[in-house]
Structure 1
Amino acid sequence: MRNAGFGALAGLVGGLVFGGVMVLIGFLPTVAAIVRTDSPVVGFTVHMLLAAIIGSVFGVLVARQRELLFWGLAYGVLWWFLGPLTLLPILLGRPVAWDVATAQALIPSLLGHLAYGAVTAAVLALLSPGERRFEPGLVVRATAAGLLTAPVLGLGWRGLIVGALVGASYAVIFGERGEGSGPALIRGAAFGFAWWALAAVTISPLLDGRGLQWTPAAVRVAVASLPGHLLLGAGTALLTCWLGGLARAVFSDDVRHALEGRLVGGRVISIWHGVIAGLAGGVIFTGVMVAVGFLPAVAALVGSGSAIVGLVIHLLISQVVGVTYAVLFRRRSFDPASGIGWGVSYGFLWWVLGNLTLLPVLLGATPRWGDAALALAFPSLIGHLAYGAVLGLVYQRLEERVSPWHLTRSEAATARAAARHEQTLSAAPALWSLVTCVALLIPILVS
């Protein structure tokens, strides 16, 4: 009951923020239609009641979670699907329309649900007991990392300001995680998405005097900066993690961290696992590339137009990406679900970094970040997600077969079970869900 009460209170605060948006977009009469009226006052009352109920459910669901931001964002997206796309039409006696056109018309509601989830999670975190420490050194490192990564948004002063804010807020919100480079990379990409919705979609139009621009057309224009924000967040988190590791290596004489969590064998065999897993994912991805005729474009990297050459280059790149996955995510997947979760998230990030950014640059063009380019690249996104799922699953199964020399098989299984339990208490499942939702939202945002 205590968790439900805190959740209801947090939901009311989130509902106030979301309610203000609903006033601006004129959505309250639609909510009021649930009780057969069109009064905005009644609509706001119904909205706040629903916000409290949904918040109380959230408080119960995340009672044992140690961090809430990404759970809140994922919860907001979930209720966008359940609410205006599903339950609201049913309650109004209309057929459910799960199509791109309907979803695109509800983009303002999507952003409002994201705001509701973020605010509700933030208030619930403040109400929950727990030690919170301000770490000046971490803030400095993360801010520096944000400034170093900011050029992905351009060389203007706004990019530098956003980079510094992303880095500083990352340090304040998450603190020193100690989660490894791979999970930090995915966490940063999800944080970059949140900053895109806040900075590019919301704050930037307000600063330009255009007011709140949450219309489908305005969001479609703002999508051009989404890949940059994803890369900014990922790069900031990764550099922050590396700078922290460098600081520990230089200034600490405690070597215990080098032995913690050693659930698998050495790094060399992990790299071979990455090669095999990357090749398996590449074979699956090949079907998509053949279907859309993309292999000649890959062959153009070496000045050829042959599909056979493109296939060879594609499989080599798949293995290289597999090796990077092994380096970044070693000892981070403890069951098939976590392997697929990290793999799909990594595949999505490589779609942004590879297909949308590096491939055009290597071919002498500019990154393809516009809405039309993202729409054309959607088949490649499906291929990258499938590649990532196979990569993560195969790597996890190979890694699980290798036990460290100082543990028996049963002891290794027990250690993996404990690590898996710890992972479920973190934001990892929420990260996997949120990244998947962002991938599925691409057609809606750019259509």
Structure 2
Amino acid sequence: MRDAICGALAGLVGGLVFGQVMAVIGYLPTVAAIVRTDSPVVGFAVHLLIAAIIGSVFGVLVARQRELLFWGLAYGVLWWFLGPLTLLPLLLGRPVSWDAATAQALIPSLLGHLAYGAVTAAVLAVLSRKERRLRPGLLLRAAAAGLFTGAVLGLGSNGLSAEAVLGLGWNGLIVGALVGASYAVVFGDPREGAGPALIRGAAFGFVWWVLAAVTLSPLLDGRGLQWTSAAVRTAVAALPAHVLLGAGTALLTSLLGVLSRAVFSDDVRHTLEGRLAGGRVISIWHGVIAGLAGGAIFTGVMVAVGFLPVVASLVGSESAVAGLVIHLLISQAVGVTYAVLFRRRSFDPASGIGWGVSYGFVWWVLGNLTLLPVLLGAEPRWSAAALALSFPSLIGHLAYGAVLGLVYQRLEERVAPWHLTRSEATAARAAARHEQTLSAAPALWSLITCVALLIPILVS
């Protein structure tokens, strides 16, 4: 009951924020139509009632979770699908339209649901007393990581300034520092490993894209709230940069934390534990095999869209055979990086697929949209039109990641650390899987997948 009450209060606050947005975009009369009226006041009251009800459900569902931000965002996206796309038309006696045009028209509602989920999660965290102790050293380290990543993005974009890359005219480099500082404030130092930190940062980059490029930038320019589909399509050009900014900031912050503990800490128990677990070399081979398996699946997509000659152009060739060889070599190299970053982080097939799909999305942004055109002497393909044309590659990267994560998890599960028996390793894996379900990992996988699937709607 306490969780439901706290969730209802949090949902009410989130509904107040969302309600202001609905008033601006003129959506309240549509909500009021549920009770057969078109009064904005009645619509606002109905909206708050719905917000409190689904907030109470959220409070019950996430009562045991340690982190709530990404759960709130994923919950907001879920209710965007269930609410305006599904239940609202049925309640109004209209047919359900699950098509791109309808979804694109409801982009303002999507952004409002994201705001609702974020605010509800934040208020619920306060009500639940989910406190996090902020350390100045972590704040400085994360801010420096964000600033450095923002500078690299600016310098690596063929002469573009960081302001242009990050989509904010009032000094893009500051955005990097703000992303890093806010990352430290919101998440602290979870010590979850470099791979999960990378995915967390990518999702956090998406949050910052909504906050900075979609919301704050037009407000600071005096244009008001620009949550229209056309404005969002224009802002999509800054989405890849924000995803890379968040991912790079989180990864660098995690690595700096590891380096700091290795240099300044005399507690060697965690280091020894990692060494005793062993298996680093065999883990690399697992990454090679898993990457090759994922690459074989990805090959079907590349053949279907005729992309192998483009890959072959990396070595000055136009041969599809050469492109296939290079593609498989790259697939294995990415598999090795997955093994390095996600070693001992997937404890069942679901978590393996979750991390793998998320990693595939990051590599779509980093590889297909950024590194590949840069290596071919062009600019990063970050425009809305380029993202639309790259959607088949996105599907291939997601499929590649799913196979990569699943195969790697199954191979890793077969090798127990030498100092543990098979039963002890199984018990340890079960305990780790339970701990992972209490973290934000499942919400991260869900949110990244939703972002990937929303790309055609955002750029249509």
Which TM-score tier does this pair reach, normalised by the shorter chain?
Answer: over 0.9
Matched residue, 1:268? 281
Matched residue, 2:135? 135
Matches of 2:32 and 2:239, distance apart in 1: 34
Matches of 1:131 and 1:54, distance apart in 2: 24
Matches of 1:7 and 1:48, distance apart in 2: 13
Counterpart selection for 1:410 from 415, 423, 426 = 423
Matched residue, 1:252? 265
Give the alignment of 1:9-158 within 5 angstroms: 9-151=9-151, 152=153, 154-156=161-163, 158=171
2:340 alignment partner AA: V
Give the alignment of 1:6-405 within 5 angstroms: 6-151=6-151, 152=153, 154-156=161-163, 158-260=171-273, 265-405=278-418
Name which of structure 1's ranges 143-152 and 345-354 shifts more when overlaid on structure 2.
Answer: 143-152
Counterpart selection for 2:452 from 415, 430, 439 = 439
CA contact (8 A) 2:3 2:59 kept: yes
Matched residue, 1:420? 433
1:389 alignment partner AA: A
CA contact (8 A) 2:66 2:130 kept: no
Structure 1 unaligned residues grouped into runs of 5+: none
Describe the superposition over 1:328-362 as per-residue Cα deviations: whole angstroms up to 9, x where unpaired.
Answer: 00000000000000000000000000000000000
Describe the superposition over 1:55-95 as per-residue Cα deviations: whole angstroms up to 9, x where unpaired.
Answer: 00000000000000000000000000000000000000000
Matches of 2:443 and 2:49, distance apart in 1: 26
Q: CA deviation at 1:263?
A: 9.5
Q: CA deviation at 1:32?
A: 0.2
> Residue 55 of structure 2 aligns to a residue in which SS?
helix
Matches of 1:324 and 1:317, distance apart in 2: 11
Describe the superposition over 1:182-230 as per-residue Cα deviations: whole angstroms up to 9, x where unpaired.
Answer: 0000000000000000000000000000000000000000000000000
Describe the superposition over 1:11-49 as per-residue Cα deviations: whole angstroms up to 9, x where unpaired.
Answer: 000000000000000000000000010000000000000
CA contact (8 A) 1:264 1:400 kept: no
1:432 alignment partner AA: W
Identical pairs, percent: 85
Matched residue, 2:166? none
> Residue 53 of structure 2 aligns to a residue in which SS?
helix
Aligned residues, how many?
447
CA contact (8 A) 1:263 1:403 kept: no
CA contact (8 A) 2:356 2:401 kept: yes
> Residue 162 of structure 2 aligns to a residue in which SS?
coil
2:138 alignment partner AA: L
Matches of 1:121 and 1:393, distance apart in 2: 31
CA contact (8 A) 1:261 1:331 kept: no
Matches of 2:59 and 2:329, distance apart in 1: 47
Q: CA deviation at 1:129?
A: 2.5
CA contact (8 A) 2:146 2:179 kept: yes
Matches of 1:350 and 1:279, distance apart in 2: 15
> Residue 171 of structure 2 aligns to a residue in which SS?
helix
CA contact (8 A) 2:276 2:419 kept: no
1:442 alignment partner AA: I
Matches of 1:253 and 1:259, distance apart in 2: 12
> Residue 244 of structure 2 aligns to a residue in which SS?
helix
Q: CA deviation at 1:262?
A: 7.7
CA gap 1:113/1:431 in 2 versus in 1, 3 angstroms:
same
CA gap 1:264/1:339 in 2 versus in 1, 3 angstroms:
farther
Q: CA deviation at 1:141?
A: 0.1
Matches of 1:49 and 1:273, distance apart in 2: 52
Matches of 2:20 and 2:131, distance apart in 1: 32
> Residue 65 of structure 2 aligns to a residue in which SS?
coil
Matches of 1:125 and 1:41, distance apart in 2: 30
Q: CA deviation at 1:260?
A: 4.4
Matches of 2:300 and 2:276, distance apart in 1: 34
What is the CA RMSD across the aligned residues, in angstroms? 1.0
> Residue 65 of structure 1 aligns to a residue in which SS?
coil
